């Protein structure tokens, strides 16, 4: 029996002795679930995910069913349940409940029902029966109910506190705080909202200046920054072969095995993983026949359309429902700090993972394109039109048209990978920034975006014969042409750097920017005392 070959994996500093995984006998055939689907089923599944996402957006903002209030026969609409959002005074007389566990503040429930003084009764309860407005009109002498956070019971009274012309006293761990009159409070709140945008700009500029100072002063950070800039200028995507700083470097035999695995089409380190665009680059009409080439070109055009259209439409759906509403109120951040921080951390980690996936997709695609464009079949090699052995062999003659087609489809692959990565990043940030309490919505978005990112690979993997044809063609490119494509690698390196830079910029936008629902008027990050302004 022939001994099994093993794939080489690098050891981590904490790992034990190197235990290379044994290559399974089933690795020679494609047994994934996606391989059993025809290309039209893959396309239909993508459109189904898109429609499901659109339906979630529509259902999210539909009017909730009406119910009967406890006080009589008048039908009222239930209070909106989006977490962390605040509705305008015209819709509800109070802010909407904050993220998750926090109990709702404010006095106005459906129909203007008010909670008793100093309580945190939820809206719609039988106790909230006295109709009252959240805030009196400017110039009125009527008291106003102001929501005051409880902070684990450290502030008394809390909840809906009545503030008259003389103000109100609130007991805190640091002493008694006097809330001024409602008119003075209104002026202070309005000034706080106006000045917070300036503070955000100062904070971002200060943060950037501190990052520059720390990076330039620390020797290690300065060295990494300059090396990254040099890599972008030189078109280097990764230092896979540099093991000088590895505490457990590979032995010469392991390096040789790793280099050999680069030319194994069943290895995860394969030099040129395929997609539908690179398959077309390796399949000119003279080699595969006009009919098969037309079929492949049709699949590539459909894939190109879907990879660009779907993320644009997903982002457009979000922008049709939500609009930019300035910066988040500092009072909103204080009132919802812990719950917002938990959601921000979890969704921010999802953005980091997704950005890393996009950068890896660009890197592997660029390396595969570079290998195809800088290698050719040796002189005297032949290629068959059909898979059977009785087919007539034809010499490999890369004409000018075939060479132009290779460059066109490889550049198309790089352009689609780069554009899709940026579009999916923008779509992901928009969905996270407008995230409410519907977890299934953000899960469907993440799954659909990940599906779109690998759509070109899945279409090629749906046909085992096409995958095998591509792998044989790539393995046959054993002679280097000595042509240089530094421009392609520089573009890929710059795109990877921008994708990674988009993560902290997007997270700052998620943290500071407010969004208003065009239909309901609810504001994510709105001032909880907005009705007093």
Residue 27 pLDDT grade (very low, low, confident, very high; cuts 50, 70, 90): very low
Residue-wise pLDDT tens digits, 423-455: 988 988 888 888 776 667 777 888 888 888 888
Chain centre to alpha carbon of residue 510: 12
* pLDDT given for residue 246 in this prediction: 56
Residue 298 pLDDT grade (very low, low, confident, very high; cuts 50, 70, 90): very high
* H-assigned helices in 218-289: 219-234, 252-261, 276-281, 285-288
* pLDDT given for residue 383 in this prediction: 52
Strands (E), 239-353: 322-327
Nearest by Cα to 491 from 159, 120, 233, 118: 233
Whether the upstream peptide bond of residue 232 has omega within 30° of 0, thus cis, is no
Cβ-in-10-Å burial (0-12, 13-18, 19+) of 220 comes to exposed
Which residue(s) pair with 160 in the sheet? 147
Q: Is the pLDDT of residue 111 over 80?
A: no
Residue-wise pLDDT tens digits, 95-106: 333 333 333 333
Round to the nearest angstrom and report the end-to-end CA distance of the chain. Answer: 83
Supply the angle between the helices 337-373 and 486-512 in degrees, to the nearest 10.
170
pTM of the model: 0.62
């Amino acid at each position: 029996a022939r001994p099994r070959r093993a794939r080489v994996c690098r050891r981590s500093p904490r790992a034990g002795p190197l235990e290379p995984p044994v290559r399974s006998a089933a690795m020679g055939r494609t047994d994934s679930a996606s391989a059993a689907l025809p290309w039209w089923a893959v396309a239909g599944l993508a459109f189904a995910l898109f429609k499901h996402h659109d339906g979630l957006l529509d259902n999210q903002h539909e009017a909730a069913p009406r119910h009967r209030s406890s006080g009589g026969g008048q039908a009222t609409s239930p209070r909106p349940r989006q977490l962390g959002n605040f509705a305008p005074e015209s819709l509800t007389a109070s802010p909407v409940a904050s993220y998750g566990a926090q109990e709702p503040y404010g006095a106005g429930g459906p129909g203007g029902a008010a909670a008793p003084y100093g309580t945190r009764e939820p809206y719609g309860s039988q106790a909230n029966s006295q109709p009252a407005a959240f805030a009196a009109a400017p110039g009125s002498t009527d008291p106003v109910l102001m929501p005051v956070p409880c902070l684990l019971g450290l502030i008394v009274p809390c909840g809906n506190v009545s503030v008259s012309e003389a103000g109100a006293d609130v007991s805190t761990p640091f002493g008694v705080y006097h809330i001024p009159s409602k008119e003075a409070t209104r002026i202070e709140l309005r000034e706080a909202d106006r000045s917070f945008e300036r503070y955000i700009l100062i904070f971002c500029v200060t943060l950037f200046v501190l990052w520059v100072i720390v990076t330039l002063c620390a020797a290690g950070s300065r060295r990494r920054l300059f090396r990254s800039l040099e890599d972008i200028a030189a078109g280097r995507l990764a230092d896979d072969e540099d093991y000088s700083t590895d505490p457990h470097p590979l032995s010469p035999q392991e390096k040789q095995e790793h280099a050999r695995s680069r030319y194994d089409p069943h290895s995860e380190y394969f030099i040129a993983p395929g997609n539908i665009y690179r398959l077309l680059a390796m399949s000119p009409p003279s080699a595969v026949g006009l009919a098969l080439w037309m079929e492949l070109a049709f699949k590539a055009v459909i894939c190109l359309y879907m990879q660009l259209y779907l993320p644009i439409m997903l982002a457009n759906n979000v922008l049709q429902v939500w609009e930019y509403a300035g910066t988040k109120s500092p009072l909103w951040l204080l009132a919802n700090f812990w719950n917002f921080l938990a959601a921000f951390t979890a969704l921010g980690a999802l953005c980091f993972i997704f950005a890393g996936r996009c950068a890896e997709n660009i890197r592997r695609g660029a390396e595969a394109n570079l290998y195809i464009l800088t290698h050719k079949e040796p002189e005297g090699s032949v290629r068959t039109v059909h898979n059977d052995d009785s087919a007539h062999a034809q010499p490999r003659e890369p004409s000018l048209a075939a060479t132009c087609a290779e460059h066109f489809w490889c550049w198309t692959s790089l352009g689609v990978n780069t554009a899709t990565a940026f579009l999916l990043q923008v779509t992901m940030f928009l969905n996270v920034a407008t995230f409410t309490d519907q977890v299934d919505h953000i899960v469907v978005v993440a799954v659909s975006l990940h599906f779109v990112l690998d759509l070109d690979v899945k279409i090629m993997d749906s046909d085992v014969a096409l995958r095998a044809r591509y792998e044989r063609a790539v393995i046959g490119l054993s002679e280097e042409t000595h042509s240089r494509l530094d421009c392609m690698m520089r573009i890929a390196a710059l795109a990877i750097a921008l994708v990674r830079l988009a993560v902290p910029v997007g997270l700052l936008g998620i943290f500071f920017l407010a969004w208003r629902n065009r239909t309901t008027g609810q504001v994510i990050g709105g001032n909880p005392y907005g009705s007093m302004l």
